[in-house]
Amino acid sequence: MTRSDGASTPDDHIIVLFGALGDLSTRKLLPGLFHLDRAGLMPANYRIIGTSRKGGTAKDFIAVARKAVGSAAGDTWEHFASHLEFSAFSAEEPGPLVDAVATAEKELGGTPRRLHYLSIPPNAFGATVGALGSSGLADHARVVLEKPFGVDLESAIELNKLVHGVFEEHRVFRIDHFLGREAIQNLIALRFANGMFEPIWNKDHIDHVQIDVPETLAVDDRAGFYEETGAYRDMVVTHLFHVLGFVAMEPPTALDGRSIVEETGKVFRSVKTISPNCVIRGQYAGYREGKGVDPDSQTETFIAMRAEIDNWRWSGVPFFLRTGKAMGESRRLLTIAFREPPRRMFKDAGAFVEDYGPDHISFDFGDPGKITTSFLAKVPGPKMRLGQATMEFTYEESFGTQGLEPYERLMYDAMLGDRTLFTDSEGIERLWAASAELLADPPPLHRYARESYGPQKMHELIAPRRWWLPET
């Protein structure tokens, strides 16, 4: 059903949250589902069934959900709470969940869809997916998988083979919350809905692209997980490369899942093999003293790298990616830097040209997000003197709203079966294949101070260009 504002209402659903009492569920999933309900974007009839390896009861689940929603609960809490249920589940004994789903479906009537959200550790994926298949819970169901999608090409192929043994690819939703951000989606609108941008979105006009995601948070209690992954596996393959796919893709034939996945897939197939010589790895001071960390750990908490796309549009244009923990600020920034035109005419006229670097467009993926265009203009006065000027668009000032939160948008799309903002198995495997040389022979680590922007070695990687963060 389509609402008056053009939004579709999902079919009736049984939503099963695996790991319902865990961190992701309490921080993002339960508040997100509540906000969708309050916005009128949940199905007319639905049930949310929580499960947890820790055990629990319906009363526990409702209490956790109430705390997760917090002060936003208001008068609509009771309505949302009436849709919450809880069931025991283990891969060895899925019977209780089978019964709970059957009961909920009988109460709702008709043939509600099933959506399984696996907010569980990667090492539990196999047994859980297998149990969904053997118990019949996967019948007519979709499944949402949280990252990481493997740790290398071999494990990604194995994981995809396991999942495809139970779910066809069109029923699998590999979630990347970066792609749920309004600014990422606005990138598509800016490129393809405006005649001034798409003609210059290529190697003839763009000098380089930067995707920068520094984080102030340290690893802390995630050391056990992080020691096995590191910044490259945790952030680059699962987030930054997918942003790159949206930046670099060709115009899709339609704004639907199939068309978008086809075009981003072409980008991933064109990514050159990542050379260890084009990568700077770092580790913040004090990381090795953390609980659960190997005293001689070689796990990177920072990575800066140069990637290239070997196709007609982007050949020769470097894509610089950078992310790290315990850094000077938390940002999510995409910068498109344009080629500099000849400026000899200004020098001949005696003008003073400051070295501001190339003109650029920056997409800030923060909340609510903004787009900033930087360019050179004449400084008022008797002489021709250039200075940097900016124009800025923000969602809040222009539209008075920041739209849905990333997880809200992606859960809503999963209920609709819209895979536009999700990744597919072929794309994931291609990115791991491009990473094989780096993973087999990673470059040495460089130490960096907490609250800095990474090791100084990173400046050699991008020279003679410069990083846009910190902003100067």
- Distance between CA atoms of residues 339 and 354, nearest Å: 16
Q: Is 53 annotated as a binding residue?
A: yes
Q: Is 54 annotated as a binding residue?
A: no
Sequence-distant (≥ 6) Cβ neighbours of residue 150 within 8 angstroms: 156, 157, 158, 159, 160, 428, 432
- Distance between CA atoms of residues 419 and 422, nearest Å: 5
- Distance between CA atoms of residues 447 and 285, nearest Å: 6
The answer, yes or no, to whether the previous bond of 368 is cis (omega within 30 of 0) is yes
Q: Which residues are bridge partners to 362 per DSSP?
A: 335, 372
The answer, yes or no, to whether the previous bond of 470 is cis (omega within 30 of 0) is yes
Q: Which helix (H) or strand (E) holds 37?
A: helix 30-38
Q: Is 198 annotated as a binding residue?
A: no
Q: Is 177 annotated as a binding residue?
A: yes
- Distance between CA atoms of residues 14 and 110, nearest Å: 12
First to last CA, the chain: 50
Residue 102 DSSP symbol: H
Q: Is 457 annotated as a binding residue?
A: no
For residue 70, count other CB atoms closer than 10 A to its CB.
9
Task: Kindly name the residue from 239, 242, 446, 459 that is annotated as catalytic.
Answer: 239
Q: Could you tell me which of 93, 5, 79, 73 has the C-alpha nearest to residue 46?
A: 79
DSSP codes of every residue in 144-192: EEPSP--SSHHHHHHHHHHHHTTS-GGGEEE--GGGGSHHHHHHHHHHH
CA 442 centroid distance within chain: 24
Location of structure tokens 């790159």:
244
Is 170 designated active site? no
Instruction: Output phi, psi for 65, to 5 deg.
Output: -65, -40
Contact 322, 210 (CB under 8 A): yes
Location of structure tokens 């199905």:
43
Q: At what angle do helices 425-440 and 153-164 cross, to 10 degrees?
A: 160
**CA–CA distances in Å: residue 81 to residues 55, 203, 212, 261:** 19, 53, 39, 36
Q: Is 234 annotated as a binding residue?
A: yes
3-state secondary structure of 259: helix
Residues within the annotated binding site for NADP(+)?
53, 147
Residues within the annotated binding site for substrate?
177, 215, 234, 325
User: Residues with catalytic annotation?
Assistant: 239
Residues within the annotated binding site?
53, 147, 177, 215, 234, 325
